[in-house]
Amino acid sequence: MRIFVTQPLLGSAIQRLRALGDVTVFPDASRILPHDVLLNETATADVLCCLLQDRIDREVLDAGRSLRLIATGVVVPGNIDMAYATERGIPVTSIPNIVAETTADLQFGLLMAIARRIVEGDKALRAGVFPGSQSIHFAGGDVGGRTLGSIGLGAIGRAVARRARGFGMKVLYTQRRPLSPAEEQELGVTHSPLDDLLRESDFITLNASYHPGTHHLIGPRELGLMKPTAYLINTARGPIVDEAALAEALAGGRIAGAALDVYEREPEVHPALLGLSNVVLTPHLGSATRSVRERIASIIADNVEAFVQGRRLPNLYNPEVLGAAANGE
C-alpha cells in the first residue's frame, strides 16, 4: 500500500500509517505542496492523505490512476472534486467538526486584535515607538457592550456568541433558518435580516458556509451599509468577501478595519490589503492548535487504517461510492 501525505502530521499518525504501507510525506509544513509535486506523487499512490489547502481536482484524480482512498483532514472537503472522485469509485473520508471551539478562539482573538490595534502596537514598539499610556496615538474601538453580528450561526458562530456574552455584547445573527425561540434565549442571540445586521453591528463575523449563493456575499453594497466605526472579521472562507471591494472600503475609511484568516485565492492575498494598517492578516490559522492538529492527524490515520483492514469507514463523506462499487461501476 503506497500512502502519500501532503504535509507532516502531529502525534503518532505517521508512525501508524507506516505500519500500514509505504509512506511518503512532503516534509515542509511551512508551505502548501506545489501542484506539480502533488500530481507526481498522486500518480503512484494508492492512498492520498491531504489537507484543506490541497486542491484535489480532476487533473489530480486523473493522475492518480491507482488511487483507492482519499483521506482528508477537512470537515467539508470543498477542495476535492467530489463528483468525479465518486464517479471514479474513490471513497473520500473527512473528519467530524472538532475545529469549532478553536476557530472561535481565533475569530474572537482577531476581533480583539483589530479593535484594539494590537498588531499595530506590537510593530510600533519593536520599531522604537512608545507614545505613552494615555496617548491617543493607538486609540481603537471598544469591544465590551458593543453589538456583534454573526452571518451564519453554526457550531463556530454559536461558540463565538458564547464568548461575546462574556464581554457583555449584544449578539445578532442571520441565516436562512432561524433558531427556535428557546435556542435563541439559551444563546442570548437575536435573529436579524442581513441588511439590518450590517447597519447595526459594531463587529461583523462571517460564519457562513461557502457555496455559489454566498460568493461575494460581502461586496460594495454590503460594505456600504456598515458603520464607519465597524469591523469585519472573516475566518470562514475567503470568497465570501469581495477582497477588492474590502480593500477599497478600508483605504477610504468607509469601515474602521478588518481581520482576515482566509482569502479568495489562497495562498495569494489581494495586494491592496497588504499595505493597509487597518487590517490584520493571518495565514488560515483557524484550527491551528497542537491538540486539534493532533486529533485531525489521528482521525486521518483511523480512516486509512479502517480502509486497509477492510472495515467500515468511520467518516466516509461520499457513501454513494459504495453503491457504485457494489454495482461494478
Give the whole-angstrom CA distance, residue 249 versus residue 229.
12
Omega before 267 within 30 of 0, i.e. cis: yes
- Placement of cell 428557546 in the chain: 182
Q: How many CB atoms lie within 10 A of CB 106?
A: 24
Q: Which candidate, 217, 216, 250, places its Cα nearest to that of 231?
A: 250
Q: Give catalytic status of residue 268 as yes or no.
A: no
Pick the catalytic residue from 117, 146, 158, 237: 237
Q: Give the amino acid at 48.
A: L
Asked if 39 contacts 60 with a C-beta cutoff of 8 angstroms, the reply is yes
Residues belonging to the chain: 329
The distance between the two most distant Cα atoms of the chain, rounded to a whole number of Å, is 74
| Active-site position among 16, 117, 270, 284 | 284
Cell numbers standing for residue 33 = 505542496
In the numeric block, which cell numbers belong to residue 233?
472579521
Give catalytic status of residue 284 as yes or no.
Answer: yes
Instruction: Point out the catalytic residue in the list 87, 184, 266, 305.
Output: 266
DSSP secondary structure letters along 74-142: -SS-TTB-HHHHHHTT--EE---S--HHHHHHHHHHHHHHHHTTHHHHHHHHHTT----TT-STT----
What is the spatial distance between Cα 258 and Cα 264, in angstroms, rounded to a whole number? Answer: 15
Question: What DSSP designation does 31 have?
Answer: S
Q: Which residues are catalytic?
A: 237, 266, 284
